[in-house]
Chain A
C-alpha cells in the first residue's frame, strides 16, 4: 500500500513542478484581472484543470453569461470524458464506486498520460499518490501566485517598482498561451490533418477577432463556434480510422513492459503519447510526462 502510494508521489513530482509555474501564472493573471486573491485558489482547488480554468476565469471576468460559461467549459473539458473512459478500462473492475468518484477529480492531461503508460494495472494507492502530488503542486502554485501578486501590488508603490511589476505581469500573461503552443505544434508537425485543423481554427479565430461585427459577439462564443465548426469539418474529411495502437508501438520500442490489460487505446491516448514522446527520448515515464502531457 505505502510503497505504491510513494511511487505515485514520485511519478507526480515532475508534474507538480510543471504545474507550479503554470498555476502561478494563472493566479497572477486572475488577480491582475481584478479577482480577489482567494478566487483563483478556490477555482484551482475545485476544478483542477488548466485550460478550462483559464477560459472560465476569463469569461467570468468579462461578465459573460452562465450559459456561455457552461458551454465553454463543456467544450474544453469534453476530452476528459474519453481519457476517463480509457483510464477506467485500465483500472479493471477492482475499484469501488467511491474510489472512482475520488479518482475522477484527479484526471488531468498529465496525470492521465502518466497513469496510462504504467506497465501494470493501476492501483488506487498509486493513482492517489500521483494525483495528490500534482494537485498539491497545482493548488500550491496558485496560492503562491495569488499571494505574491496581491502582496506585490500593495508593496510596489515606487514608480520603478511598479514599472517592473508591470513588466513581470505582462511577461507572465503569455505563459499559458505559450504552453498551449507547445501542446499544439508538435502533433501538428506529425499529423497533417491536425496541422490543417490548427490553420483552419486560427483563420476562423482571426475572423472573429478582427471583423467588428463578429468581435462584438459575447466573449468566448468564438471558441465554441470556431472549434465545433472546424473540428466537424476535419472529422468529416479525415476521420481517424482504427490505427495501429501507439501502445503497441511504444512496446515494440522495448520501453514498456507487456500490457495486455490496457484495453483498446482511444484516440486521446495516442495524442498524449505523441505529446509525451516529444519531450524526451529517454522514455522515463517518471520525467517526460511532466512536460509532455497537456494540462
Chain B
C-alpha cells in the first residue's frame, strides 16, 4: 500500500465531502423535476455500468487463485440469476471461494 497518513485523512475527507454533497444537494435545495430524458436515462443507467466495470473482470482475480475466483463468480451469477438477495449471494460466494481454496490447500 502506498498511502501515507496524509493521504488517508485527506482522502477520507474528500470521500465524505463528495458523498454528503451527492446525498444532500437535492434533499436540501432542489425540489424540481429533471425533465431531460437523456439526462434522466443517463443517471438511471449509470450505477449498473459502474458496478459492472468494477466487478468484471476483477472479481475473477480478487482471490488467491483464479480457480476460486471463477467458482465464486459462477455461484454469484447463478444465484443472482435466480434472484437471491444480496446477502445470500454474497455468503454463498464467500463459502464457495473458501471451499475451493481449502480443497486446494489440503491436496
Contacts and interface: CB of A to CB of B under 8 A. Distances in A.
11 contacts: A60-B3, A60-B8, A105-B20, A174-B63, A176-B90, A177-B76, A181-B89, A186-B80, A194-B45, A200-B49, A209-B57
Interface of A: 17-18, 21-22, 25, 33-36, 39, 42-43, 46-49, 51-56, 59-63, 66, 69-70, 73-85, 87-89, 97, 100-101, 103-105, 107, 163, 166-168, 170-189, 193-194, 197-198, 200-202, 204-206, 209-210, 222-223, 226-227, 230-232, 234-236, 238-241, 264, 266-268, 270-271, 278-280, 288, 290-292, 294-295
Given A77-B23, A185-B77, A178 B37 contact: no
A266 B34 CA distance: 9
Q: SS class of chain B's interface: helix, strand, loop or mixed?
A: helix
Q: SS class of chain A's interface: helix, strand, loop or mixed?
A: helix
Contact of B14 (A51, A63, A70): A70
Interface string B57-91: 11100111000110011011101110111111111
A66 B62 CA distance: 24
A50 B51 CA distance: 12
Given A42-B12, A46-B15, A205-B56, A182 B50 contact: no
Contacts of B50: 51, 75-76, 223, 227
